[in-house]
Structure 1
């Protein structure tokens, strides 16, 4: 006996009159009614898509983290993405390993509502936190009273050299950095390199790759050269976007940057090195004899570098190139703290 399979027939989406004609004789009205009912259960593609979107939106809303709304809603202007995953928060704090007395040289950048501060305060009860969002300041000071110090201000405006002197030694920096000013914060730490021991920070995965990139790779550039000259950057782990709220469109990374105690002074002034790097990488696919014309002042490019492209040079070779162009002018020990690498204006 013929048994109709309504779902299979319905998926073909034939007109009902054709389906009726294709059926064997003897198929009764009851069978046709069953077929029609089955077809009614199969939504047209567009309707099905809309239905699935509605379901997904509903599920997302239900699963949204119960994090600040209203007064503490994340500010897009400040690039706020609150860390909401306690496992990653613990991993970030564990990577710091600061040995200063009671954590007095620990400095958290942009604590927000305190996802990291909550854990840090237990281990480093005399830490410092720098926050720009005026909404969060009263909350942080209430939750984390003295001896923890909550400073209101822009992390780009902090005098880390003076803070290091006041705290009696090199600082250990930690923070979940806003994506849009990550590079500027990193460059700011380079400007104060003699006052920073270590930085444990989160950033966009692509920026992290640029920090550790090697010559002759696509990601190799100014950030790579500068940080590999001043410090030793290392990617500790990848952090999924679901660890943050609101959920960003990019993946993040936890990066550890160690600034050496006894870095050898550069044979040139950092400002001259910066000029060479900016000029060379502005036309990264051109040979240096062409890309550096504007700063050679009619002189030929040093022969050993003339036919090379900037992405081919190791970080140390840029120091040598700068010395050949501008002459040797050694970096001074007290140059740390001067604004060389950070160029962006302060946020309002």
Structure 2
């Protein structure tokens, strides 16, 4: 039974202080009691969208173990509310908290398509895959309202530039028309995140994401339309979804995924305290065991920043996870491979016309 304090429909269960800010605020018990008596909300639960105006939109990824060189994020913050999300910490750079602020205050980059076009037209730019959602999901609920991701995909198509997508939202199918055009020239790959096959687990881990059924259907429809799909079985959380590894791998393979990637959960920065508060409220009977097993994968701590180890973990539990994933790859993906994206076309489209020589 979940704790009575559990906030349904959100991942984080509290606001947390921003470590970069000089001052912090807290909700005192007398204030909360006043709100209860008066029938008022102590905190607004609706999502706020705030436009921001960055000068650039393509980010160079310098971390050696991330698996991408460039990323583009149309939105900062993410209403999906995944409790484990590493991107929560980045919300502090914008002056907000990594807890509920991350899910309720969404920063919107309306100029992203224009900034992207400027980048792709730059004389010094050479084609390299740019991944949409390197930080936050480009198909989160805000996309339905603003359509920035779709406009960016049009730019990629116009300039015949390779693009990757990471998402856990079936809204990606809205843009199937553009994706099919990109796929004709091998310019697109979509990464669909599958964290569990249990809807109950999905609802508490990732409260505002597409259902597991819809995500598997999304993989199927993308694959049927010739769009290569990699499934992200991430993160693997010992004691929560680690027992589902083989079943998840089989499910995504059966629906048409050509490969899969994974990470072992790590809870850096503010996420450790946010996750700990969440699990004691949502899964109190499992909390101690899960936290202990996560620590055992990261040298006795929830906070692991070691390149090459931080996303895979170490120790007996991590090794067991690695062995299961290796078996899953051998069993369900033995003769499958995600094709490399085409970087050869962009140079001829950079100036809007084909080169003669």
> Structure 1 length normalisation: TM-score?
0.30
Q: Which has the higher helix share?
A: 1
> Structure 2 length normalisation: TM-score?
0.30
- Higher relative contact order (CA closer than 8 Å, sequence separation 6+): 2
